[in-house]
Amino acid sequence: SENKRNLAVYSLEYKSIRGDGNCLFSAVAEQIGISHTPTSIRIIAIDYMRNHTAEFEEFIPNFNKQVFDQRLVNMSNDGVWGDMYEIYALAEYFQRPIVIVHDDIKRNHIIFNQNAQELPIFLYYTMGLHYDAL
Protein backbone atom coordinates (compact mmCIF):
# COMPACT_ATOMS: atom_id res chain seq x y z
CA SER A 1 0.00 0.00 0.00
CA GLU A 2 1.02 3.62 -0.38
CA ASN A 3 1.29 4.08 3.37
CA LYS A 4 3.55 1.03 3.74
CA ARG A 5 5.85 2.55 1.12
CA ASN A 6 5.82 5.78 3.12
CA LEU A 7 7.15 3.87 6.14
CA ALA A 8 10.52 3.64 4.40
CA VAL A 9 10.83 7.41 4.70
CA TYR A 10 10.86 6.98 8.48
CA SER A 11 13.21 3.96 8.32
CA LEU A 12 10.45 1.78 9.74
CA GLU A 13 10.03 -1.83 8.76
CA TYR A 14 6.61 -3.46 8.77
CA LYS A 15 6.37 -6.65 10.88
CA SER A 16 3.14 -8.62 10.56
CA ILE A 17 1.57 -9.74 13.84
CA ARG A 18 -0.90 -12.63 14.10
CA GLY A 19 -4.55 -11.54 14.37
CA ASP A 20 -5.44 -13.56 17.45
CA GLY A 21 -6.88 -10.82 19.69
CA ASN A 22 -3.47 -10.32 21.28
CA CYS A 23 -2.03 -8.23 18.44
CA LEU A 24 -1.58 -5.03 20.46
CA PHE A 25 0.33 -6.84 23.19
CA SER A 26 2.30 -8.93 20.66
CA ALA A 27 3.31 -5.84 18.67
CA VAL A 28 4.50 -4.06 21.82
CA ALA A 29 6.35 -7.17 23.04
CA GLU A 30 8.06 -7.40 19.64
CA GLN A 31 9.58 -3.96 20.18
CA ILE A 32 10.26 -4.09 23.92
CA GLY A 33 12.48 -7.12 23.53
CA ILE A 34 13.20 -10.64 24.56
CA SER A 35 12.29 -10.26 28.22
CA HIS A 36 8.59 -9.72 27.44
CA THR A 37 5.82 -11.84 25.97
CA PRO A 38 2.36 -10.75 24.84
CA THR A 39 1.03 -12.14 28.13
CA SER A 40 3.51 -10.19 30.26
CA ILE A 41 2.71 -6.99 28.32
CA ARG A 42 -1.03 -7.59 28.89
CA ILE A 43 -0.42 -8.05 32.64
CA ILE A 44 1.67 -4.86 32.79
CA ALA A 45 -1.15 -2.87 31.14
CA ILE A 46 -3.80 -4.27 33.48
CA ASP A 47 -1.67 -3.72 36.59
CA TYR A 48 -0.89 -0.15 35.55
CA MET A 49 -4.58 0.58 34.96
CA ARG A 50 -5.54 -0.97 38.30
CA ASN A 51 -2.85 0.98 40.19
CA HIS A 52 -3.48 4.31 38.41
CA THR A 53 -7.27 4.37 38.14
CA ALA A 54 -7.38 8.12 38.91
CA GLU A 55 -5.50 8.86 35.66
CA PHE A 56 -8.20 7.07 33.68
CA GLU A 57 -11.01 8.82 35.57
CA GLU A 58 -9.66 12.07 34.11
CA PHE A 59 -10.06 11.15 30.44
CA ILE A 60 -12.73 8.44 30.24
CA PRO A 61 -16.11 10.15 29.66
CA ASN A 62 -18.71 9.28 32.32
CA PHE A 63 -16.15 7.15 34.17
CA ASN A 64 -17.74 4.30 36.12
CA LYS A 65 -15.46 2.42 38.55
CA GLN A 66 -17.52 -0.78 38.34
CA VAL A 67 -17.39 -0.81 34.54
CA PHE A 68 -13.66 -0.01 34.62
CA ASP A 69 -12.95 -2.84 37.09
CA GLN A 70 -14.96 -5.26 34.93
CA ARG A 71 -12.94 -4.15 31.91
CA LEU A 72 -9.75 -5.11 33.76
CA VAL A 73 -11.19 -8.53 34.60
CA ASN A 74 -12.18 -9.08 30.94
CA MET A 75 -8.83 -7.77 29.69
CA SER A 76 -7.00 -10.41 31.71
CA ASN A 77 -8.35 -13.07 29.32
CA ASP A 78 -6.17 -14.17 26.43
CA GLY A 79 -7.45 -12.90 23.08
CA VAL A 80 -9.34 -9.86 24.40
CA TRP A 81 -8.46 -6.84 22.26
CA GLY A 82 -6.58 -3.94 23.78
CA ASP A 83 -7.21 -0.36 22.74
CA MET A 84 -6.24 3.21 23.56
CA TYR A 85 -6.55 2.74 27.33
CA GLU A 86 -4.08 -0.13 27.32
CA ILE A 87 -1.79 1.77 24.95
CA TYR A 88 -1.83 4.75 27.33
CA ALA A 89 -1.00 2.43 30.25
CA LEU A 90 1.92 0.84 28.40
CA ALA A 91 3.34 4.19 27.24
CA GLU A 92 3.26 5.42 30.82
CA TYR A 93 4.64 2.22 32.34
CA PHE A 94 7.58 1.93 29.93
CA GLN A 95 8.05 5.72 29.79
CA ARG A 96 8.25 5.51 26.00
CA PRO A 97 6.18 7.29 23.39
CA ILE A 98 3.88 4.94 21.50
CA VAL A 99 3.15 6.14 17.97
CA ILE A 100 0.08 4.75 16.21
CA VAL A 101 0.52 4.89 12.42
CA HIS A 102 -2.80 4.40 10.59
CA ASP A 103 -3.18 2.49 7.36
CA ASP A 104 -5.34 5.37 6.13
CA ILE A 105 -2.83 8.06 5.14
CA LYS A 106 -5.54 10.71 5.58
CA ARG A 107 -5.59 10.04 9.33
CA ASN A 108 -3.07 11.67 11.63
CA HIS A 109 -0.71 9.55 13.66
CA ILE A 110 -1.57 9.36 17.36
CA ILE A 111 1.23 9.66 19.90
CA PHE A 112 0.84 8.53 23.51
CA ASN A 113 3.27 9.91 26.13
CA GLN A 114 4.98 12.08 23.53
CA ASN A 115 7.20 13.81 26.11
CA ALA A 116 8.91 10.58 27.20
CA GLN A 117 12.64 10.59 26.47
CA GLU A 118 13.08 6.92 25.55
CA LEU A 119 12.88 5.48 22.03
CA PRO A 120 9.33 5.33 20.69
CA ILE A 121 7.34 2.17 20.07
CA PHE A 122 5.68 2.25 16.63
CA LEU A 123 2.43 0.39 15.96
CA TYR A 124 0.72 0.08 12.58
CA TYR A 125 -3.09 0.16 12.92
CA THR A 126 -5.09 -1.39 10.08
CA MET A 127 -8.79 -1.46 9.25
CA GLY A 128 -9.74 -0.17 12.67
CA LEU A 129 -9.12 -3.51 14.33
CA HIS A 130 -5.54 -4.79 14.11
CA TYR A 131 -2.07 -3.75 15.29
CA ASP A 132 1.22 -4.74 13.66
CA ALA A 133 4.74 -3.77 14.70
CA LEU A 134 6.97 -1.25 12.96
Asked if the model's pLDDT at residue 4 lies above 70, the reply is: no
Chain-centre distance for alpha carbon 5? 22
Average pLDDT, the chain: 90
CA distance 36 to 30: 8
**14 Cβ neighbours under 8 A, 6+ residues apart:** 4, 7, 124, 132, 133, 134
Q: In the predicted model, what is the mean pLDDT of residues 59-82? A: 96
What residues are paired with 102 via a beta bridge?
A: 125
Residues involved in catalysis: 20, 23, 130
Domain holding 39, by residue range, is: 2-133
Helix (H, G, I), strand (E, B) or coil at 38: helix
Q: In the predicted model, what is the mean pLDDT of residues 65-90? A: 97
As for how many domains the chain has, the answer is 1
Q: Between 11 and 8, whose confidence is greater?
A: 11
pLDDT 10s digits, 22-63: 999 999 999 998 789 999 999 999 999 999 999 999 999 999
pLDDT 10s digits, 90-110: 999 999 999 998 887 777 788
**49 Cβ neighbours under 8 A, 6+ residues apart:** 56, 68, 72, 75, 85, 86, 89
Q: What pLDDT is stored for residue 2 in this prediction?
A: 54
Q: What pLDDT is stored for residue 73 in this prediction?
A: 98
CATH number of the domain bearing residue 26: 3.90.70.80
Q: What pLDDT is stored for residue 8 in this prediction?
A: 54
pTM exceeding 0.95? no
Confidence bin at 128 (pLDDT 50/70/90):
confident
Task: Report the percentage of the chain scoring pLDDT > 90.
Answer: 70
Report yes or no: 45 and 75 within 8 Å, Cβ to Cβ.
yes
CA distance 74 to 116: 29
What residues are paired with 133 via a beta bridge?
A: 15, 123
